[in-house]
Structure 1
């Protein structure tokens, strides 16, 4: 299913899985039972044997296929892909994933078309984007990658940068919004800053100022529903066109929020990955 080149002299498979990748007990047990890890020549790997730098390990195991029904042809742009993940540019107006059985034209349905065309059966999004938000979405191509990327999101080592035009001019060029976000009891889809909500932290930087608005770049430390939209509105500077959060309406009756950059240290190739959406 994928290969991994050992980067550390004397590393054992046991250490790689439990200490470096910090995989859960269940997935480690499943890999052991399936004899899923072999050397380059197909010889079963000995889990507690120290390995030399450059040793190629092959991981071959059966995972449950993802449930997304593929569309006829993938029509989302793929910005990056390797054995472990892909990064797509989700269009505005498209949901990240299906919300019911009839929802079959989401970003993940398009991703699955690409995966199936290339002989795969597994793809799971690591984070999500609101339907009205366009831009970069990280997708894991096997369960080990999903587990590691999920942890990286929790530990804030995947940096997600967004761009938005907001109403008015923020007083400071940079700032941090540290306000919990919860559901609005009076509106099904809205979120609000609430003392009983979930911890949420947003960093912003003003990159361009106009007479009645400004362009901000935003980095998420957490990933709450509508986080950027709620936090900017809380400051009194909602994203232009975001009428759900009391912004003025635009000619397109839409708002512009763009996930412009993903940055992380790749846990398998050890490259520093920076992908920018245009």
Structure 2
């Protein structure tokens, strides 16, 4: 069982409120932690789950063992951030985040579990051709908390792309619903019947007929940035699926930064990828 310490920062928070309201864990997970007597004081003393605790109370939380079913496979892995609860790693273009089938290999998660197993789970995904940062949970409680933060837009994701330019407006918001393209198995398109999708963009630099664009997402639809930029008339260079010109190699989209308040330490994290594609200035 994995052990970590947590300090109650505010007056009047109980273990029950911490797990259910602050971290918003599911009933099954909370019940399992209660039955395992998993939350205690650092000296091993018991704490009542509904007792309102004073600020500064230290808790020792022991998590049930969990195992991910990824097959370990050694390979190059750039770890940008590491702590007991999460990892942020760089994914190269051409490498899928996870296998499509049980027992599959040749992906980022195979490499991550080989180094950090037995439990690791990605919080979000990048398309195979997109390079950049991927957030990975190191225990099931962290996975549940980060999933909720992602859903509530508490994790800020910043991307960079290179497109044909120039743009008519240096910055703006693309709000256009995205749905499946019935004429193509994997392609998406802007569709009135699709799911809401919002992308904010800002042109950072422009030269030689191309623009470097910084983008942030309010939603996380499949191929969202690729679809929205193509819809705007600026398909990503190399993204032939959405009308971009070939560029020799993968298309030019990079997940450059992740920012969030760490749910277990309370500290702000602003993590920038130190492995940059050659097309970025």
Question: Deviation at 1:10?
Answer: 2.8
The aligned runs of 1:56-71 (5 Å cut-off) are: 56-71=58-73
- In the alignment, what sits opposite 2:202? 205
- Moved runs in structure 1, 4+ residues, more than 3 A? none
In structure 2, stretches of 5+ residues that fail to align are 275-281
> C-alpha deviations, 1:71-93, integer Å up to 9, x for none?
1x352111111111110011111
Q: Distance in 2 between matches of 1:101 and 1:27?
A: 24
Residues 50-98 of structure 1: CA distance to partner in whole angstroms, max 9, x if unpaired? 2233322121132431111111x35211111111111001111100000
For structure 1, the 5+ residue unaligned runs are: none
C-alpha offsets along residues 143-183 of structure 1, whole Å, 9 cap, x if unaligned? Answer: 11111111111111100000010112111111111111111
Which shifted more, 167-176 or 97-106? 97-106
Query: 1:95 — aligned with what?
Result: 96
The match for 2:37 is 35
TM-score under structure 2 length normalisation: 0.93
- Which position in structure 2 is the counterpart of 1:17? 19
- What is the CA distance between 1:102 and its match in structure 2? 5.6
- TM-score where L is the length of structure 1: 0.94
Specify whether residues 101 and 23 from structure 1 end up closer, same or farther in structure 2 by C-alpha distance, changes over 3 A only.
closer
Q: Which residue of 2 aligns with 1:223?
A: 220
Offset of residue 277 of structure 1: 0.6
Contact 1:63-1:143 at 8 Å conserved across structures: no
| Counterparts of residues 89-168 of structure 1 (less than 5 Å) | 89-101=90-102, 103-116=104-117, 121-168=118-165
- Match of 1:257? 253
Distance 1:244 1:94 in 2: 18
Aligned partners of 2:70, 2:91: CA distance in 1, in Å?
16
Corresponding position: 1:173 with 2:170 = yes
